[in-house]
Every structure is written in structure tokens, then in C-alpha cells.
Amino acid sequence: MAQHRRRRTTALALGVPLALTAAGGLAHGFLPGAQPRASAATTAAPAWATAAADGFASVDALGQNGTYGGRDGQIVTVRTLADLERYATASEPYVIVVAATITMNPVGKEIKVASDKTIVGSGTSGQIVGGGFFLGPGVHNVIIRNLTIRDAYQGVWNDKDHDFDAVQMDGAHHVWIDHNDLRHMADGLIDVRKDSTYVTVSWNKLSQDNKAFGIGWTENVVTDITVHHNWIRETEQRNPSTDNAAHAHLYNNFLEDVAGTDINSSYGNYARGATRMVLENSWFQGFRNPVIKDSTASIVQKGNTFVGTSGRNESGGTAFDPRTYYAYTLDRTTDVPALLKSGAGPRSSIGTTTATTKAAATTLTVAKDGSGQYSTVQAAVNAVPAGNTSRVVISVKPGTYRELVKVPSNKPHVTIQGSGSSRNDTVIVYNNASGTPKPDGSGTYGTGGSATVAVEADDFQARNLTISNDFDEKAHQNIAQQAVALRTAADKVFLDSIIVSGDQDTLLVDTASKDRLGRVYTRNSYVIGNVDFIFGRATAVIDKSVITLKKRWDGSSAGYITAPSTAANRKGILIANSTVNGDVSSASFYLGRPWHAGGDASLDPQATVRNTSLSAAVKSAPWTDMSGFSWKDDRFAEYKNSGAGAGAASADRPQLSDAQATGQEVADWLGDWTPSTS
């Protein structure tokens, strides 16, 4: 994408649009109840087979861009130990569906899983008894989901002789352990050892064991791990114990020591060595020493609740901001016990999705409380098969989803739709700006990369929700402040009854490339901002909508509504049948200015505002120059506007004739496309 140059006041602010990087987290997906047969991955696989991890397992590092397991391979069903071991140890990628109870022989056997594997239970029928899985040095991109792994216990509570774990990894990376029931093993339930890193452990039940979950056992401080939404109960120690982890992010976990049982907790979350831990919105019930740390370790606690606990509860030092690595959404601490009692562990069948499904489900549901198929919007997007040929509606229940969302170009025909009674009920929000540093140190996001929601897929629709960028300009005066809420770089984008809210550069209507057509139709919506907040090179219509002008961070009123960057011989931005208003000073806003992106003189920016009510905030000379380019050399005009901000034709205020206006209707912008809600 070309550079976006503009003046903030009088000085130029330069942002370099970069591709948005979004955590592809699926925190709460559904699993199959039927028994899939082997199926080539080139067919449209069901959602559970294409799921990708969230948290640190989603980070692009060590040559692995996130964790998605065996989605590029065949889907196979196994019911015997021989078949499970055959596919799990193969060099090719596989999605392996465990559809029976498989007993390990000998007891304590740990199958040596190879890279690029998804091992997933079919409903609640997938069980591994008497052993587990081992991921050795260099093994990567592995998902273990929806399984019960149990009963390798050999009769000795603190067993020093039998290293029988449910899942053990030594030097592995990019591993996702999700929605499993792990219990009653001879040693630990999960061991993340010997510099294993980029691991996410989510929505599991860990119980009936001496040692629940160990992390580390190395002098090197390299492990990055996310532990969220796990129910840890009736375990004595390592809940987890985290040794020399570079970044340990623990949130929304439920640690429960049940009174009156013969298993008593020794300690809860433990930061050892040089560990840096962030511990958020977790619930501790009845635990002894719920949070402890070595003098050399750091723990930052936020929003945790302790009920009936005793002994050490410690914090101190400095840790890190997880959001510099990935997006995530916190559930309320008070909701955690009920949420995990109902949502952790293997899930039974939802619907009839099987490996023979030819397209994603007609509707995928997103809900933070675990009542949907997914708990983040991006997780649902990830579940849409690449190259899908029919409409997939992602229905998002009311709530605030603080995350980055990207709909890639290979996933057309997607609708993201709020299911509440109002577009205010469902909010997708984030706060990156052009000058926000990227977590990997490779520079800043740039204007395009700052978007909360980025749409690169054709035939996209958004409906009945709010998309926002709440970047705090006042608090970050030292960086470039363009902060996009919604970026579109696709054709046939339909925005219906939504709110797009921000400050500078709210709505970026772009195209996939300069020579590609990109049409955007916005209807019955609100667009809110102050500087160039409807901008880009797309052929874009704002119809029957409200454009709300917003004061600057310092309370002043000054701004620009549009900044088209239209290619020659293309249609630019059309505002029709709408209203421009807002709590700003009179005569303080321009209708627009020409953005010649990157100084490209071949561009011919166009903006037309017609049949629209303009408040007194609009200047009497409503167009202005930009970055050395005169608006008079490009295409700016009005037609039959009304309101206190409207004005008669003049050299500074060109008006279309009736004849000219017949060629600048909404239908002229849309061409052969008629937007519909189908």
C-alpha cells in the first residue's frame, strides 16, 4: 500500500501502511460428534479441523506463523493404538480424530508426536488411558484438543519413579493444548520443559494429581507461554510452577481446592527463577499459598479474586504487556468459576459438522461467555475454510471484544453480524496507531496496519455492530496518530447498520492494488472522526448515514471529512442522502482534500457530497489543498445539499448541474453490483 501523507495541523504526519498482524486465536471452538473419515484437506474442512491457536502459540516466530496443526493434511479417524501412533508420528500433516477409548501399552507409553499434527477427540468419546503424548526437540505446530487423558497413576502419590505425563514437551514450540480433561497420572499432567516455547494452554480441566503443570527446568530464559481459562482442582502442586519463563501470561483461570477431600493444595501459581509473569482475572478458591514467587522472579497481578485462601499471596517486580505480542479479551473475574465449570474440558457434539462438510457452517457463533462456538471474532474467521464459496455468517453476541480481526483475501463471502438489539451492543475495539511499535521490533504498524478490523476478502458484509479504534491521542503525542478502525481492501464490501468510530483516519476504504477495483457500500450507519476519517482509493458510497464530527484530543474543532486517493478514470468517494453533524464549532471542518498517496501525481482524487444535510460546522469554502496538491486540479463537488453548512455555487464551492448529477448517482458508483443481505 502506498504511503499516507497528510498534515495533522501544519506539519506533515507520515505513516507507512503495513499489513495488519492479528492474533488468530480460537479460544472456544466446537468439536465433532460424528466420526469423520479420511478427507483431503483441499476440500473445505469443517471449522474444528482448521482452528488456530491464540496467545503465544499464535505468534509468528522461529519460522512458524502461529499454530494450526494438521489443517493442511488429511483428516483421519483412529480407534486403535496402532493407528493413533502411525498417524501421530508420521512426517506428513494430519488431523487425527480419536473416536474411541485407546489404552496405552505398556502403561506410561507416550506417543512421540511429529510436527504439523492436530489430535482431536470426537465429541467426548476420545480418551487416552494409561499414557499420553511426548513432543521432542524441534517438534512444532501441534494441537491437542478435546481429549480425556487419564489414569497412568501407579499407586504412589509423589511418584519419583514413573515419569508418566499426559502431555510432555522437551524443546518443542508452537503447541496448543485446548479443551482437554487431564487427570490421575503418575507424574505431571502437563510438562513444558527444556526451552519449549510459544505454547498456549486453554480451557482444560486438570485434576486428581499431585503435580498439575510444570513449566521450565532450564537455566535459559526463553519460554513464552499463555495459560488461560483452565479449571485446576484437587491438585497439590505445580498449578502451574513456572521456572525461568521469559513471558508467562496467566488469565481467567479457576484454581479450586475443595474442602473435605484428601488432596490438599501446597501452592497455586508459582514464579521461579527469572520468570516474568502477568496474572490477570483469575479466581482462587480455598488454595493454600495461592500466588508465590522467588526473590528473583516478577509477578504483576491484576483483577484476581481470592476466596478462603491462606498463606502467601505475592506480587512484585515488573513484567510485560501481553498485548504487545497478541490480542486477547479478559472475562470478568466474577464470571470465571461458572464459565469454566460449564466450558472447560472436552465438548460434546454441536450440530452435524463432519469432515465431509463441503463448506463452513452457515452460521458460526461468537460469545465471550462460552455459550457460542468461539470466544473471539478472529477465531471464527480462522474457522472459515479458505476458498469458501457460500455465505458464512459470524454471529457475535453482545459484548466488547478487544481484539484485532483480519479477514484474509482467501476467505470471501463472510458476514460479521452483531446479534444484539442495537449496533451499540456488540463492539470490536483495539487501540493501535500508525506509530505504535510492533511487538517484534520490526518498526511501527503504519496507517493501514493500525486497523482494528481489516477486510481483504471480497463480498464481505458487516452488520449491527460497532467497530472502533480507541487510541489515546492525548497520551501518545510523540507518535504518528493515524488510527484506523476499519480498513477494507476488497471489492463488494457492504457495511449495513454499523458504527465506525475513531479520531484520525477512522475508515480506510482501500483496494487490493492500484489497478484493482474496490467497491464499498455503507448504508444506515454512523462514521465518527475528525481528520481525514473517510479516506482511500476505493469506489465508496456513504448512503443514508450519519457522519459525526468529533473534537480533537485538546478540545479544539478542526478537521477534514474525506481524503480520497482515487486512481484516474475511477469513481472516488460519494456521500449521498446523509447527515453531517457533531458537537464541534461552526465553520471548523472541510468536506475534504485530495490525498495523492506517496506524491503520485497520476491520481485523480474524487469526492462528491449530494442531497445531504450539512451542519454549521462545514466551512463555506469546504475543500482544501493537501501536501502541495490543489483540490481544484482534482474532482470535488456538491449537489443539492441542505442545512446551515450548505452554500451556493462559487469558485470555492463547485456544484454539479442537474445533467452532471445524473451521472453521479449511487448506482453509477456500484456499477453491476447490487448489494443485498443474502
505 is catalytic: yes
Q: Which residues pair with 133 in a beta bridge?
A: 111, 167
Between the two ends of the chain, the Cα-to-Cα distance in Å is: 31
Tell me, rounded to whole angstroms, the distance of Cα 626 from its chain centroid. 35
CA distance 270 to 293: 6
- Nearest to 426, CA basis, from 388, 390, 463, 478: 463
**Which residues touch 253 (CB under 8 Å, ≥6 apart)?**
227, 228, 229, 230, 231, 232, 282, 283, 336, 340
Catalytic one of 187, 505, 510, 634: 505
What gap in Å lies between CA 287 and CA 569, rounded to an integer?
A: 69
Look at residues 220, 218, 216, 222 and name the one whose alpha carbon lies nearest to residue 246.
Answer: 222
Q: Which residues contact 295 (CB under 8 A, 6 or more apart)?
A: none
φ, ψ (nearest 5 deg) of residue 57: -65, -15
Amino acid identity of residue 26, one-letter, is: L
3-state secondary structure of 149: strand
Catalytic residue among 178, 503, 510, 532: 532
8 Å CB contact between 644 and 620: no
DSSP-derived secondary structure for 340-383? HHHHSS-----TT--TT-SS--SEEEE-TTS-SSBSSHHHHHHH
CA distance 611 to 608: 10
Angstrom distances, CA of residue 555 to CA of 102, 362, 585, 673: 66, 46, 10, 42
Q: How many Å apart are CA 575 and CA 593, to the nearest integer?
A: 14
User: Among this protein's residues, is 491 annotated catalytic?
Assistant: no
What residues are labeled active site? 505, 532
